[in-house]
Amino acid sequence: MASKKPTQPKLLSGGNPQIPKGDGDAPVEAYLAAMPGWKQGAGRELDALIVRLVPGVRKAVRWNTPFYGVEGQGWFLGFHCFTKYIKVTFLRGAALDPLPPVGSKDPNARYLHIEEGDAIDTPENEAWIRQAATIPGDPLF
C-alpha cells in the first residue's frame, strides 16, 4: 500500500493558509509553516516576539487565524495573511497608547499592517504587544 504524502494546507484568498481549528503550539506552527514567501519569516518573527514578551502565552487557530491570549483574560492578538501584507489585529487595540495605525469597524479593534521588509521587533510593536497582553481580552471562543 502506498503511503500518502502529507499535503500542504490550501492557501485561501490573499495567501492565507487554511488550517484546522486547534489549540496550542501545533496548529499555530502549522499556520506559520504554510505562510507563503516573505510572510513566513515575518510570521515566525512575530510569533517569537509574542512568546518572548508574554510568558505563558496561550495559542490557538480559529477561522484560519492564529490567536494569542492570556489564561483567564481572553485573546489579545491575532494575525492573518493578505496579498501584500500581514494584518495584525489587536482585539482591544483602541485601549493602546499610542493607537495602532489602522482603524476598524469594530470600535475596540485596531490593526497593524506588516509589509515585506518591515521591521517586526520594534519598540512600538513591543509596547503594543505588552500593553495588549495586560488588557482583559476578547473571549471569542
Residues 6 or more apart whose CB falls under 8 angstroms from that of 77 comprise 50, 67, 68, 88, 89, 90, 91, 129, 132, 133
- Using a pLDDT cut of 90, give the percent of the chain over it: 85
Q: Is the pLDDT of residue 2 over 80?
A: no
| Mean pLDDT, rounded, for 132-141 | 85
**For residues 17, 19, 100 and 115, what is the CA-based torsion angle, rounded to 10 degrees?**
-20
Is residue 56 a part of any domain in this protein?
yes
What is the Cα Rg of the chain in Å?
15
Is residue 78 a part of any domain in this protein?
yes
Q: CA-based angle 83:103:95, to the nearest 5?
A: 125
Is residue 126 a part of any domain in this protein?
yes
C-alpha cell at 98: 499610542
- Report the chain's mean pLDDT, rounded to a whole number: 93
Q: Is the pLDDT of residue 68 over 90?
A: yes
Residues 6 or more apart whose CB falls under 8 angstroms from that of 65 comprise 16, 31, 78, 79, 80
Number of domains the chain is built from: 1
Is residue 124 a part of any domain in this protein?
yes
Q: Which of 136, 1, 119 has its CA nearest to residue 70? A: 136
Is residue 8 a part of any domain in this protein?
no
- Domain holding 18, by residue range, is 13-134
Q: Give the pLDDT score at 9.
A: 82
CATH number at residue 129: 3.90.1150
Q: Give the pLDDT score at 14.
A: 84
Q: What is the per-residue pLDDT across 71-119, written as a single tens digit (0 to 9) for each?
A: 999 999 999 999 999 999 999 999 999 999 999 999 999 999 999 999 9
- Residue pair 111/43 in contact (Cβ under 8 Å)? The answer is no
Whole-model pTM: value is: 0.91
Q: Is the pLDDT of residue 43 over 90?
A: yes
C-alpha cell at 122: 520594534
Q: Give the pLDDT score at 36.
A: 96
